[in-house]
């Protein structure tokens, strides 16, 4: 199986060659923890979980290191802490907000069938030099200043974009163009309008750390440069996130990491998932089409949401619609019925090959549909490999029926009554019961079991 991945930096799909097949290293930007994550945030988590699973399959689970950070220092967090816990000292209030939000995030993405990353560092643990000597933000900033890539001005430390000849390569923005288009004198302390903050001062009402540049806090981008280096080294294999992160976040991560370490690359493959829209519109609170993962999980099993996400190729925009979610639910009902109780088999080559082609999940789904009618053992194993079929068929059906508001015990009792009526040839009564069930939205399917005895299964219309 040759794995091929699309790299945003070189704008080509090419064979994936790890730096070290015994330690394949991937970093994905994680959530800023101030509120429930929305369904758009679930997209990178699910997409890179599938890639993580594929890499583990290809190189062995113990040979893949996946780091996804938690951003727990951010002005949105400060605002939320002040609003929700006005009586508490700021640091305590912040800790309450970030811990609660991080555990909600974990519950959400676990329900979506995602594995835990190998490491999940929190930004606030990587601001100051550490006892274990792992990379930290203050040391990185000092290195950047020492190498002539950063300067102090106006109480901030800024990255000097002009000190890096190929700044802008990831997003394809040229510094000259940025200069020409820049508004004049917006931030007079910057040497160049594109220069960005590495460190800024904190007021008393903002979280801060004592640093060589006074009490302050880091800029956003430097976090990921520090945490990726801490766990994956100065150069690693894959860096991922949503397309909105290409500029400025990833562009600036590259600038910081390469200039601090003096390396020609930061990561060999830059992967970006497309954006998620809802019913054809940008998701926004004001449009009323904004959904948290938590809200959707109240209505749908996480596997239904997971499947809905994978129907679209990760690099394309995805239009999240109720129709698509309902269709995924029906597909999973069918797959559960066909294969959830099958324990033999291994993931199908057709499924793995589709994924190996830059995570071609549309082709993967076609392969799964093909297996549905030819090899339920391979279907079951493939689905488990992909993070589905976490329950037995009975559990799944019970859950789906509860979700649809129908009392499964009552349905089963009526089905037993109907079978008894049919056995005594009282077809008037059996038809009456069928109609009663139909009025509840329950559709019956009469068939035979393996021994040829009549069985009746049911599903919601």
Binding site for ligand AMP (CB under 6 A): 29, 31-32, 40-41, 43-44, 241-242, 244-245, 273, 275-276, 283
* Binding partner of residue 208 among ligand AMP, Zn ion, none, CB cut-off 5 to 8 Å per kind: none
* Binding partner of residue 224 among Zn ion, ligand AMP, none, CB cut-off 5 to 8 Å per kind: Zn ion
Q: Kindly state the smallest distance separating residue 226's Cβ from Zn ion, in Å.
A: 10
CB 259 within 8 A of CB 147: yes
- The residue (of 32 and 376) whose beta carbon lies closer to ligand AMP is 32
Q: Report the alpha-carbon distance of residue 461 to residue 459 in Å, rounded.
A: 6
Which residue, judged by CB position, is nearest to ligand AMP in the bound state?
242
Which of 54, 109, 224, 259 lies at the binding interface for Zn ion (CB under 5 A)? 224
- The residue (of 32 and 361) whose beta carbon lies closer to ligand AMP is 32
Three-state DSSP state, 202: coil
Number of Cβ atoms within 10 Å of the Cβ of 2: 9
- The residue (of 49 and 223) whose beta carbon lies closer to Zn ion is 223
What does the DSSP assignment read for 326-388?
A: HHHHHHHHHHHHHHTT-------HHHHHHHHBT--HHHHHHHHHHHHTT-HHHHHHHHHHTT-
- The residue (of 221 and 418) whose beta carbon lies closer to ligand AMP is 221
* Contacting Zn ion within 25-84 (CB under 5 A): 29
Residue 44 makes CB contacts below 8 A (sequence gap 6+) with 28, 29, 240, 241, 242, 273
* Binding partner of residue 44 among ligand AMP, Zn ion, none, CB cut-off 5 to 8 Å per kind: ligand AMP
Q: Report the alpha-carbon distance of residue 199 to residue 152 in Å, rounded.
A: 9
| Rg of the chain over all Cα atoms, to the nearest angstrom | 26
Q: Report the alpha-carbon distance of residue 397 to residue 56 in Å, rounded.
A: 31
Q: CA torsion 40→45→50→52, rounded to 10°?
A: 160
* Binding partner of residue 260 among Zn ion, ligand AMP, none, CB cut-off 5 to 8 Å per kind: none
**What are the tokens at 156?**
């901030």
Q: Kindly state the smallest distance separating residue 221's Cβ from ligand AMP, in Å.
A: 12
CB 335 within 8 A of CB 352: no
* Binding partner of residue 242 among ligand AMP, Zn ion, none, CB cut-off 5 to 8 Å per kind: ligand AMP
Q: Kindly state the smallest distance separating residue 16's Cβ from ligand AMP, in Å.
A: 21
- The residue (of 138 and 318) whose beta carbon lies closer to ligand AMP is 318
Three-state DSSP state, 292: strand
Measure Cα distances from 323 to 14, 211, 215, 308, 350 in Å: 35, 53, 52, 10, 27
Q: Kindly state the smallest distance separating residue 291's Cβ from ligand AMP, in Å.
A: 11
Q: Kindly state the smallest distance separating residue 356's Cβ from ligand AMP, in Å.
A: 23
Q: Kindly state the smallest distance separating residue 220's Cβ from Zn ion, in Å.
A: 8
Q: Kindly state the smallest distance separating residue 313's Cβ from ligand AMP, in Å.
A: 13
CB 67 within 8 A of CB 30: no
Q: Kindly state the smallest distance separating residue 178's Cβ from ligand AMP, in Å.
A: 22
- The residue (of 29 and 51) whose beta carbon lies closer to Zn ion is 29
- The residue (of 30 and 387) whose beta carbon lies closer to ligand AMP is 30
- Catalog residues that contact Zn ion under the rule CB under 5 A: 29, 224
């Amino acid at each position: 199986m040759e794995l091929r991945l699309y790299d945003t930096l070189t704008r080509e799909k090419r064979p994936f060659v790890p730096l070290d097949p015994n330690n394949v290293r991937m970093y994905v930007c994680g959530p800023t923890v101030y509120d429930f994550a929305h369904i758009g945030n679930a997209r990178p988590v699910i997409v890179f979980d599938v890639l993580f699973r594929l890499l583990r399959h290809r190189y062995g689970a113990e040979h893949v290191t996946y780091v996804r950070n938690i951003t727990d220092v951010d002005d949105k967090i400060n605002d939320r802490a002040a609003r929700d816990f006005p009586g508490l000292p700021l640091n305590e209030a912040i800790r309450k907000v970030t811990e609660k939000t991080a555990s909600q995030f974990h519950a959400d993405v676990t329900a979506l069938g995602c594995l835990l990353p190998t490491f999940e560092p929190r930004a606030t643990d990587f601001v100051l030099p550490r006892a274990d000597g792992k990379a930290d933000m203050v040391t990185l900033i000092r290195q950047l200043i020492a190498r002539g890539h950063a300067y102090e001005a106006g109480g901030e430390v800024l990255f000097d974009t002009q000190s890096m000849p190929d700044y802008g390569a990831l997003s394809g923005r040229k510094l000259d163009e940025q200069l020409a288009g820049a508004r004049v004198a917006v931030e007079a302390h910057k040497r160049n309008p594109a220069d960005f903050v590495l460190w800024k001062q904190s007021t008393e009402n903002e979280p801060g750390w004592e640093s060589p540049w006074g009490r302050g806090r880091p800029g956003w981008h430097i976090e990921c440069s520090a945490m990726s280096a801490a766990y994956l080294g100065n150069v690693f294999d894959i860096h991922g996130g949503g397309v909105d992160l290409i500029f400025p976040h990833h562009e600036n991560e590259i600038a910081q990491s390469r200039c601090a370490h003096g390396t020609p690359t930061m990561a060999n493959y830059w992967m970006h998932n497309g954006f998620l829209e809802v019913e054809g519109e940008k998701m926004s609170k004001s449009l009323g089409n904004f959904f948290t993962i938590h809200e959707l999980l109240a209505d749908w099993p996480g596997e239904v949401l997971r499947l809905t996400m994978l129907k679209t190729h990760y690099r394309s925009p995805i239009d999240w619609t109720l129709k698509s979610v309902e269709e995924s639910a029906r597909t999973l009902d069918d797959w559960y019925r066909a294969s959830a109780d099958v324990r033999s088999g291994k993931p199908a080559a057709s499924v793995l090959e589709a994924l190996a082609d830059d995570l071609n999940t549309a082709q993967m789904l076609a392969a799964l549909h093909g297996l549905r009618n030819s090899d339920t053992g391979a279907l079951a194993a493939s689905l488990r490999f992909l993070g589905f079929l976490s329950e037995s068929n009975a559990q799944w059906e019970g859950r789906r029926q509860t979700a649809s508001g129908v009392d499964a015990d009552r349905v089963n009792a009526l089905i037993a009554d109907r079978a008894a009526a049919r056995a005594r040839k009282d077809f008037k009564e059996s038809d009456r019961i069928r109609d009663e069930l139909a009025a509840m939205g329950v559709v019956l399917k009469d068939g035979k079991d393996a021994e040829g005895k009549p069985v009746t299964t049911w599903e919601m219309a």
